[in-house]
Amino acid sequence: MAIDIHWILDDQTLAEHCRSWRELPFVALDTEFMRVDTFYPKAGLIQVGDGQRAFLIDPLRVGNWQPLADLLEDKRVVKVLHACSEDLEVLLRLTGKLPQPLFDTQLAAGYLNLGFSMGYSRLVQEVLGIELPKGETRSDWLQRPLSDTQVSYAAEDAVHLAELFAALRPRLSEDKYAWVLDDGAELVAALRREVEPQALYRDVKLAWKLGRQQLAVLRELCAWREREARSRDVPRNRILKEHSLWPMAKSQPDNLTALAKIDEMHPRTIRQDGATLLELIKRAASLPPEQWPEPLPEPLPIEAAGVLKRLRAIGQAEGERLGIAPELMLRKKALEALLKSGYPNGPYKLPDSLRGWRRERMGQALLDDLAGAGDKQ
């Protein structure tokens, strides 16, 4: 069946359609973008499905995104996306806004126990019985004109995404529907909670092995790399390789020859930023102790694996009762944060990352289990 495709190539047409979409109960949204040599994704196409038609918005022709921003923030219209973390970045970059309420069909599939982290094509096959052609993921979405294959692929995405919502929504209980929207809101909130560059050092592998003065250097290196990647709009590793950060903070080279010997140090980095890096290391290394970061906690010991497994089983059992994919229940990071709050003897505190219905339904059971384990020791 041929898809009814409508192109949106100017500000006025976009504004008119956005007004009509705001009268609908839901719209399906998808994006195609390029992100090969840039920090930020570059939008190549925005697709909207209203249940019958596919609308293809050309971001190279549209200048005023305010009508789309207003649609994204209209709480009366559910925005339907699939595995949408990168789509959210594209929409935020274009419009300055993020969709609410957000219904992610990949999450919905997990709540219906159809599978966890299902790809779009597989979900369409599973729910709609439609076999999609191989994707255009390697296409150049910034080229013009787009090929017929690209246009067809993009339009099918918009149409079938709307059909997925129509098929999945009635199968979700009101509770589960609310939880899908809650998780969608959390995806949006997580993107809004952009980590400050000064906090990124905490995520560097083996950072916990460094002393406080070395952590001060690592903190500045990570923050500088992040700021430069954003301002130059290039990938972080183009500025400074991930694997160079830790050895630089540990050995603190004070000349270009020593800097060049750092793991995975690119000659281009030495040429462009070598002097800047040496000055940054020198300045951070000489900070007074009261300005050093606190030591980072060590990873959980190997014997904690059994406790983590037991806690995970609480989530899995609740998932079985509710008919939800077990991987959606309790995230590993939340369980590790819970365990680190009091290991080995307690008391334990539920982490902020355990939110909403998960906290309500399983929080006390997790604490009770850990308290019982403490009693036995």
Q: Tell me which residues are annotated as active site.
A: 30, 32, 87, 153, 157
| Structural tokens at position 138 | 């390697």
Q: Which residue is listed with tokens 């462009």?
A: 272
Instruction: Enumerate the H helices of the chain as residue ranges.
Output: 11-21, 66-73, 85-95, 105-111, 120-128, 148-168, 174-192, 212-232, 236-239, 242-251, 256-260, 267-285, 305-322, 332-340, 356-376
CA distances from 220 to 191, 248, 287 (A): 23, 11, 11
The residues near 290 (Cβ < 8 Å, ≥ 6 apart) are none
Q: Is 46 helix (H, G, I), strand (E, B) or coil?
A: strand
Q: How far is CA 236 from CA 3, 33, 225, 266, 376, in A?
A: 40, 19, 7, 13, 47
